[in-house]
Structure 1
Amino acid sequence: MIRLLIVDDSALMRRFLGRIFEAEADFEVASARDGAEALKAMRDFRPHVVTMDIAMPNMDGLACLDRIMVEQPCPVVMVSALTEHGAEETLRALQMGAVDFIPKPQGTISLHGDELAPLIVERIRAAASIKVRTSRRLAERLRFRTAAKAPRSASARSTTSPARTETQLPDDCVLLIGASTGGPPALDAVLSALPEGFGWPIVVAQHMPAAFTGPLSRRLDKLCALSVVEVTGPTALEAGCVYIGRGDADVLVTRRNRALMAISAPADPDHRWHPSVDRLVRSALEHIPPERLIGLLMTGMGYDGAAAMAELRALGGHTIAEARQSAVVWGMPGELVKLGGAADVVELAHIGARLLELAQWR
């Protein structure tokens, strides 16, 4: 049985989530009204997974998460409002150790319950299987606290010059990154390792709602030396810049008047996750020779990006899969490895250095 603890000060939300999981034969459910009750339930109920509201009386979700990650680490999924403030707090929770988030239902819960239930169950079931590695989470928490006190300077973000790689890649490559569950902290780790003046443009498809990708891009822009923007309209690709695909849509690479552009396109219903990594990679292949493309597939549930990046490698491009040891969920990168499409399999802490090697950075 999977023991689920639902932490929310709203009786309506506790009942809504409780009914969903009580209908599942393999779940045992308990609930708490605030962070203080949740900490007691952590000791008494010993859940395998927790859903956590953020705004609660007595002890809010972030304070409770902080205690859980130190005292009794387990997978925590935030229940987040689809607002800019809710997005910022959720991104903070992910940096502190939460493994995923689910959006709060909008409008009348009862009208959307049947539609949302399968998606919520899938996310929570996947989260329950995640093994939270205490040492890694502690390192992430300390790094987050340091960053919150003082933004990193450009000189502090890159202190090593990796040896020149045997793989010869052109100077005018484009880096395509796909990520999902666990992606925001992973993006922070990779992008922060790249120095100002990094020679390639970077286009990112991170599975997220539209309310979250703007705050994500602004947060990353503050935390790394590169310029980070959300793609909301046609945007020319420039070296040393990062382009985050808008949530609930797809980000594509195209060419206009010979200039490479990133554009936001309506989500393609033939693809399950958005922004779609598969669609991003295949759009780039239509306009850029494969030997000038690098695909990086990081932590995430499912298989988005695996097929397209395997095609990219087969055509002569270079691909990197995040290693199982560091991925929060080794779904997407694991599928790429299974397809034989990963030229490199690299732990998160070393991906930035590998990219600098491939870029022949000095």
Structure 2
Amino acid sequence: MTRLLIVDDSALVRRLLGDLFTAAGDFEVAFARDGLEALARLREFNPDVITLDVHMPHMDGLSCLDQIMVEQPRPVVMVSSLTEAGAEVTLEAMSLGAVDFIQKPDGAISLKMDRLGPDLVEKVRTAAGARLRRSHRLAERVRRQANGLSAEALVARKSRARLVNDAVSREEATPPADRPVAEKQVLPGVVLIGCSTGGPPALDAVLQGLPADFPWPVLVAQHMPATFTGPLARRLDGLCAVSVQEVARPMVLAPGTVYIGKGDADLILGQRPAGLVALPAPAKAEYRWHPSVDRLVDSALGHVDARRLIGVLMTGMGYDGAEAMTRLRQGGGRTIAEAEETAVVWGMPGELVRMGGADMVAPVDEISGRLLRMVAGR
């Protein structure tokens, strides 16, 4: 049996979640009403996994999480509202060591549990078997000093990337007969990254290792709700030398820029007169997870020679991206799978390795260095 500690100040939420996991048949459930009580139950009950609410009296969820990860690290799943404010707090929690998040039941809670229940149980089961990272706050260890740009130069570079995409937006809104002929952007290649459970800290680690003048654009499909990907992009943009933007409209690809797919939709690569473009696309039912890694890679293969593509598949449950990245490698492209030793969940990268689609397997803190060598032709 998996020992689960549910931490929430709402008696109704505790009861509904308790009933849900007890009915699943493989959980032994205990409860805590706030962070202080959770720390006491941690020592008494010794849970395998914890669901942790953010807003509680006496000790809030973030303070409790930080103490758990310092004193007795174990998998924690945050219970989050699907709002932008909830996203900001949840991303902070993941930087502190939380494995994943689930939607906080609200409104007509009991009516929503039938719909949310299977996903909640799957996420908590997966988290219970998750591997905690070898080093807490790993991204802080892999900041690179090699980019050599002042803060002012970095801001200027990011501003130029935004000007390019603002120009593309104006072009999309201009009737074709009135459009000037755009200068086509020629790129040496494109990096495609896919991740899911445990992805935000992995993205922190990889993207902070890329210099501002990284010569290829990077497209990222991170499984997340729509309200989370904007805050994720803004957070990464503040941490990284490369420019990071959410793709909520067509954006011409530029070197040194990372494009985060908007949640609950898909990210695809297309072609415009000005060059390759990152596009948001409505989610397709045949793809289980969104933004879909398989759909992103397949769209790239439709417009770019596989030899000019690098695929990176990192932590996440399931198999999204494994088939498409295997095809990418078979076409002459290169692929990296995150190593089992650092992946929170070795589902997606493990499937790529099992399919024979990985050129190399690397710990997350080595992936940025591998990318730098690959784009340099080494």
2:89 match: 89
Paired amino acid for 1:112 = K
| Distance in 2, Cα, partners of 1:111 & 1:260 | 45
Residue 132 of structure 1 and its aligned partner are, at CA, apart by 2.4
Contact residue 154 and residue 224 of structure 1 kept, 8 A: no
Query: 1:235 pairs with 226, 247, 251, which one?
Result: 251
- Uncovered stretches (5+) of structure 2, i.e. residues with no partner: 151-185
Matched, 1:8 2:24: no
Residue 14 of structure 1 and its aligned partner are, at CA, apart by 0.8
| Distance in 1, Cα, partners of 2:366 & 2:146 | 20
Query: Over residues 155-196 of structure 1, what are the superposed CA-to-partner deviations in whole Å (9 max), with x where a residue is unaligned?
Result: 399xxxxxxxxxxxx971100000000100110110110101
TM-score w.r.t. the length of structure 1 is: 0.91
User: Per the alignment, in what secondary structure is the counterpart of residue 24 of structure 2?
Assistant: coil
1:61 match: 61
- Uncovered stretches (5+) of structure 1, i.e. residues with no partner: 158-169
1:188 match: 204
| Distance in 2, Cα, partners of 1:303 & 1:122 | 15
Query: Over residues 221-256 of structure 1, what are the superposed CA-to-partner deviations in whole Å (9 max), with x where a residue is unaligned?
Result: 000000100000111111110000000000000101
Contact residue 313 and residue 343 of structure 1 kept, 8 A: yes
| Distance in 1, Cα, partners of 2:264 & 2:107 | 18
1:339 match: 355
Matched, 1:295 2:274: no
2:98 match: 98
Residue 154 of structure 1 and its aligned partner are, at CA, apart by 5.1
Paired amino acid for 1:296 = V
> What percent identity do the matched residue pairs reach?
60
Paired amino acid for 2:204 = D
Query: 1:271 pairs with 287, 305, 310, which one?
Result: 287
Contact residue 153 and residue 225 of structure 1 kept, 8 A: no
The residue correspondences of 1:1-362 to structure 2 (distance < 5 A) are: 1-133=1-133, 135-137=134-136, 139-140=137-138, 143=140, 155=148, 172-257=188-273, 259-360=275-376
Residue 97 of structure 1 and its aligned partner are, at CA, apart by 0.5
Q: Between 123-132 and 306-315, report the one with greater CA deviation.
A: 123-132
| Distance in 2, Cα, partners of 1:240 & 1:156 | 13
| Distance in 1, Cα, partners of 2:252 & 2:355 | 32
Contact residue 95 and residue 140 of structure 1 kept, 8 A: no
Contact residue 152 and residue 224 of structure 1 kept, 8 A: no
Paired amino acid for 2:359 = A
Larger radius of gyration: 2
Contact residue 8 and residue 56 of structure 1 kept, 8 A: yes
Query: Over residues 90-145 of structure 1, what are the superposed CA-to-partner deviations in whole Å (9 max), with x where a residue is unaligned?
Result: 00110110011112134311121111111111000010011325x412x539x39x
Contact residue 171 and residue 359 of structure 1 kept, 8 A: no
Paired amino acid for 1:57 = P
Contact residue 96 and residue 140 of structure 1 kept, 8 A: no
| Distance in 2, Cα, partners of 1:99 & 1:89 | 14
Paired amino acid for 2:68 = I
User: Per the alignment, in what secondary structure is the counterpart of residue 23 of structure 1?
Assistant: helix
Query: Over residues 287-333 of structure 1, what are the superposed CA-to-partner deviations in whole Å (9 max), with x where a residue is unaligned?
Result: 11111111000000110000000010011111110011111110000
Q: Measured at CA, do residues 357 and 27 of structure 1 come closer, stay the same or move farther in structure 2, by a change above 3 Å?
A: same
| Distance in 2, Cα, partners of 1:234 & 1:37 | 48
Residue 335 of structure 1 and its aligned partner are, at CA, apart by 0.2
